[in-house]
Chain A
Amino acid sequence: MSLLAVVILAPLGATALIPLLRRAPGALALLAGTLSLVASLGLLQAAFTGVYATAVLPGLPNLPLRLVAEPLNALLSVTVATVALCVLIYAVGYMREDPQRPRFFATLSFFVAAMQTLVLAGDWVLLLTAWELIGLSSYLLIGFWYQRPGVPAAASRAFLYTRSADLGLYAAIFILIAATGSSEIAATLHTGGTAAGVASLLLLVAAMGKSAQTPLHDWLQRAMAGPTPVSALLHSATLVAAGAILLIRSAPLLPDQALLVIGLVGGITTVVTGLIAMGESDLKRLLAASTSSQYGLMLLAVGAGVPLVALLHLIAHAAIKSSLFLGAGVFQHSRDATSLHALRGAGRDRPRIFIGYALAALALAGMPPLSGFFSKDAIVAAALSSPHAWLFGSFALTGTLLTGAYMARTLRILWRGEARRQPLGGLAWMGAGLSALVGLAIILGLAFAPIEDLMGGVLPASTTALIAGLAAALAGLALGWWVGGSRLLGPVLGWAQQGFAIGGGMNAWVVRPVWRLAQLFDRLEQRLYGGVLAAGRLALALGRASRLSDERGIDASIHALVRGTVNLGARLRALQSGLIHRELALSALATGFILGALLLAGWLRLS
């Protein structure tokens, strides 16, 4: 209980304290991040000994809030805390010139607190709460530089995409609670029947929004408007991860047909966004597309029926992708740009940072003995051992090939070119954060065996998968290095650069129709208003005429109460004379008098 509280409340406390103190925001956030990490390690350690911390908090009637630290929760909590701490260390250097640092660190800490709540949530209401709060905090972080052109739109887009998809989560939760009468996640996972099928698909919709799966992938690339540490966190262990985490956690619920759909969505995404990454001309946007692609692979693993593999890839990817972003952030600071053209040779400016970046890139491509090799190998093996081996297998191998290709492409661009070395502030902090994450990206493979033990699962493995996976990765690296992006894509290059939008994309299919509907309703509204006003005028004219004929009779028949007559008369006179001033006092007096009279009548009756 107490450890659970520390994990969440430490960063939340930093969020509250930083705006109050407005001093040393980085140090406060780091302190809170460290506390949170230590506590989450405590949870994991307890989970290894078979003791699962839980807490029940008051919530809605009959739907209490729960926190649990079962192995999966504890593992994810440690992942989140670790990546968050490294990113915070990096951010101290990266943000040292920014006058809005307190706001940055406060929001970032809030983000971490919300994400910890999400991974530790034991009931659907709390999970939904955390799910939406990470949406809010990413909105605030993507929109951090809100005065820059394009930033508000990017932040709004990110929130709206995910919120719209979140309706799936809302509906799924309602269905699960209605079916089982409980909001406890563990209790709803064995629902079965139609309810489980519908809920699964709805959960998938929510996950697609958060994990930026095709066709909801384009918000993530635009979300690059935020500071780089934010991207590093968003793309690795937090916002985007939430989608995959949701599906991994609800895996026992998912029926076979839903698994097929999930695998298809993941497979298509990994290929589509992989191609987008090949055609991308901006480093951060390329990495963003790659994130979608990697989460596609995780969904593929869930669809293949081995969520444990998805979990391993999620953990490995968290370290790898945050390393890549942090490296990219240094290059960005170094050249004041993120376009690949401007970054030619940026790797030579900072060779040590480049080595870190390259190691992470090779890990993502799946080179042994780096962490990504193990998780990617397991994904290929899982796909090949699934009921849809040919389909899922080819998705997995294509995804692997594309990963190698776009990573090799960035390596070549960063390395081939002139070095332009200029002094850079805060490099020590940035280097420290980056090297810790790169270290993890290299050695995490060692942790997979104990994780399998802890989770009680066995990874699928086959020599075919190993050879095919390695061959695909190597081929991809070679293609990316020697052939490059635009030549490889050939005729689809243009389309890939538009994010494979079909007929104008989301703007044409959703945004504009909604906007048109709103305009239509607004016109209807004006008609309605005009109509009522005309009717009102007519009624008033009739009223005047009838008042002339028989004022008392009509009024009395409409209003049994004297008050009505007094007021109507006062009002009509006010309208005619336009001198509201005097009538006002009169009417106020009159109403006051009536109330007083009522009261008096009551007292008299009493006595």
Chain B
Amino acid sequence: MFPLVSTTLFLPLLGALIILALRRSSASVVHGIGILTSALTLAGAVWMWLRGVEPGVFSQLEQIDWMPAIGASYRVGVDGISLPLVLLTALLFLLTFIFSANVRERPHAYGVLMLLLESAAIGTFTALDALLFYVFFEVSLVSMYFLIAGWGHEDRQRAALMFFLYTLLGSLPLLLAILGLYLGSDPHSFDMRAWIADPPLSGTAALLALLAMLFTFAVKTPVFPVHTWLPAAHVQAPAAGSVILAGVMLKFGTYGLIRFALQMTPEAFRQAGVAVLVFGVISALYGAFVALAQSDLKRLIAYTSVNHMGYIVVGVAIAALATDAEVRAVALDGSVLQMISHGLVTGALFFLVGMLQARAHTRDMARFGGLLKFVPVLGWCFVLAAFASLGLPGLAHFPAEFQIFLATLRIEPVALVVVLGIAVTAGLYLRAIAQVFLGEPRDEWLAMPDLNLREVLTLAPLLVLIVVLGVAPAWVLEVIHLTTTTLK
């Protein structure tokens, strides 16, 4: 069978090599290569989606021996949890390339880094070998670091440093945990499927490994109180970088939480479930409240990510605590769907803020006002995305959050206090909309142009999917459900 997963995974890397080879070419050629490569990658991801997954196992497996002496192989494949994430990743990267088609500042390096990042991201979601996973996980950090440091805004150096320190420190415990799991497995192997089928560690060892993994993924997700890199990185990152960071890279954290923590140390997670749940609840509420206090539009959206990702942590913790398979499936369905919804919605919001900033050169909400009159298309797109983000039914976040909350009530009713977050996010988005787009139009922004074709092409797929996923989530949930119902 055609090695579809590997092809999809390495296509962007090939594109990066081509750009490196064509070092003298013009910016438009580079952007053309970027768009073409990511479009082909998306086609590959859609093909993977059409091939589908089998219930309870990893599908579309591709395996090549790598270092047989230590049991490390190149192993890739997907299940119902990773396949939607691969599709989301490929889509967001294509849109990012379309959006960035006007980058004139060192376009070659930009293209190479973005394509490298795309390969790393797809690799992270499809790797079934822990060592391979770790490599992809780290490579993505490096690319993102340089994207922020090289193409970011005014205070980019400090933000990039923060991002680097956090992620460096954050990923070390994961390596230790992987080594622990490796040593515990018999025969020694880095095969994640084996670790999932038969968790190698138990007792204190499992708990220690779990703690290490929780730390890494908490930094990545991010969870209060190790989230402070996120607003800094987001605010300073270029718009495209923010989209990828929020849309794809935060999902590494919650994906790891399910794939590693929940699946490889299930017993330990059950014991620590309440603690994780508490962190999730605090994170969700804290993120919402801090977002409410922001006056910088981009910062505000960054903090709502802490809020939304907090719901996912709650969902995963509930899944760990649940003894009833049905409730666990509901919690995980919601959590995985929430990852997709958050990618679409926050992706759209960061694109929109980027478009606004490119026009106004400010993100300060107080300086805007009545923009809906001058840029109605941009304004209505923002209103739609904002209402999606505040969890309005009929839009992408609702089915996900509904399932998470429903499962929460059944397992740990007290934790339902987290639902307060949806009232606070409503407040902060309405405030943002009122400040920026409603009210008396200011003459200062009289000449602001509305969205151009490139920007409409960037946004349209996201907004359409936000509505589609909100109205009919079944086509994604069916795939997710195949795996979540059979999870042990």
Contact = CB atoms under 8 A, between A and B. Distances in A.
Interface of A: 58-62, 125, 128-133, 136, 139, 143, 146-147, 149, 151-153, 155-156, 159-160, 163-164, 167, 170-171, 174-175, 177-178, 514-515, 517-519, 521-522, 525, 528-529, 532-533, 536, 539-540, 558, 560-561, 563-564, 567-568, 571, 574-575, 580-581, 584-585, 587-589, 591-592, 594-596, 598-599, 601-603, 605-606
Nearest to A130: B393
Contact of A178 (B17, B387, B409, B434): B409
Contacts of A167: 419-420, 422-423
Interface in B325-340: 326, 329-330, 333
A602 B65 contact: yes
Interface stretch (B188-196, B198-206, B347-355, B394-402): B394-402
A569 to B, nearest CB: 12
Interface string B65-99: 11110000010000000000000000000000000
A588 B109 contact: yes
A174 B293 CA distance: 30
Contacts of B402: 60, 125, 128
B381 interface: no
A310 B135 CA distance: 66
Nearest to A129: B393
A146 B372 contact: yes
7 contacts: A58-B472, A60-B403, A178-B410, A591-B139, A594-B139, A595-B13, A602-B65
A592 B477 contact: no
Contact of B440 (A59, A147, A522, A588): A147
Contacts of B329: 61
Most buried by B among A130, A131, A146, A177: A146
Interface stretch (B34-42, B159-167, B254-262): B159-167
A62 B324 CA distance: 15
Nearest to B428: A518
B487 interface: no
B103 interface: no
A599 B164 contact: no
A591 B68 contact: no
B438 A171 contact: no
B423 A584 contact: no
Contacts of B358: none
A128 B394 CA distance: 10
A174 B411 CA distance: 12
A153 B434 contact: yes
A237 B50 CA distance: 46
A103 to B, nearest CB: 9
Given A60-B399, A174-B416, A521-B289, A584 B139 contact: no
Contacts of A602: 64-66, 74
Given A167-B420, A174-B409, A603-B64, A588 B116 contact: yes
B109 A584 contact: yes
Contact of A605 (B66, B112, B225, B229): B66
A314 to B, nearest CB: 24
Contacts of A518: 289-290, 292-293
B153 to A, nearest CB: 15
Contacts of B169: 539
B331 to A, nearest CB: 12
Contacts of B431: 156
Given A561-B135, A563-B139, 7 more contacts: A58-B472, A133-B393, A152-B438, A163-B422, A518-B293, A592-B116, A602-B74
Given A167-B419, A592-B112, A605 B68 contact: yes
B404 to A, nearest CB: 11
Q: Which 3 A-B pairs have the closest CB atoms?
A: A129-B393, A522-B293, A152-B438
A587 B10 CA distance: 19
A6 B393 CA distance: 21
Contact of A589 (B20, B161, B166, B434): B20
Contacts of B143: 588, 591
B430 interface: yes
Interface string B402-417: 1101100110000010
B52 interface: no
Nearest to A64: B474
A485 to B, nearest CB: 33
A133 B387 CA distance: 10
Contacts of A129: 393-394, 398
A591 B142 contact: yes
A437 B168 CA distance: 70
Interface string B440-456: 11000000000000000
Most interface-central of A60, A177, A178, A592 (chain B CB within 10 A): A60
Contact of A515 (B116, B292, B430): B292
A564 B138 contact: yes
A59 B478 CA distance: 11
B44 interface: no
Interface string B138-171: 1100110110011000000110011011101100
B74 A61 contact: no
B113 interface: yes
B419 A170 contact: yes
A521 B405 contact: no
Nearest to A566: B142
B139 A595 contact: yes
A528 B406 CA distance: 33
B292 A580 contact: no
Given A147-B440, A160-B426, A167-B422, A599 B393 contact: no
Given A60-B477, A143-B438, A522-B294, A592 B17 contact: yes
Interface in B276-303: 286, 289-290, 292-294
Contacts of A567: 142
Among B112, B146, B403, the most chain A Cβ lie within 10 Å of the Cβ of B146
A529 B232 contact: yes
A480 to B, nearest CB: 38
Contacts of A130: 393
Contact of B112 (A174, A588, A606): A588
Contact of A595 (B65, B113, B119): B119
Nearest to B232: A529
A132 B106 contact: no
Contact of A599 (B10, B289, B410, B438): B10
B15 to A, nearest CB: 11
A146 B430 CA distance: 13
A170 B405 contact: yes
Nearest to B225: A528
B56 interface: no
Contacts of A561: 135, 138
Contacts of A514: 289, 292, 424, 427
Contacts of B31: none
B385 to A, nearest CB: 13
Contact of B145 (A175, A571, A595): A571
A198 to B, nearest CB: 10
B286 A163 contact: no
Contact of B158 (A139, A533, A591): A533
Contacts of A599: 10, 74
Interface in B169-211: 169, 172, 175
A581 B151 CA distance: 11
Contacts of A539: 165, 169
A571 B402 CA distance: 43
A580 B150 contact: yes
Given A521-B289, A598-B66, A178 B441 contact: no
A155 B142 CA distance: 45
A59 B162 CA distance: 43
A210 B178 CA distance: 53
Contacts of B10: 599
B64, B329, B393, most chain A CB atoms within 10 A: B393
Contacts of A568: 168
A160 B423 contact: yes
A525 B232 CA distance: 11
B228 interface: yes
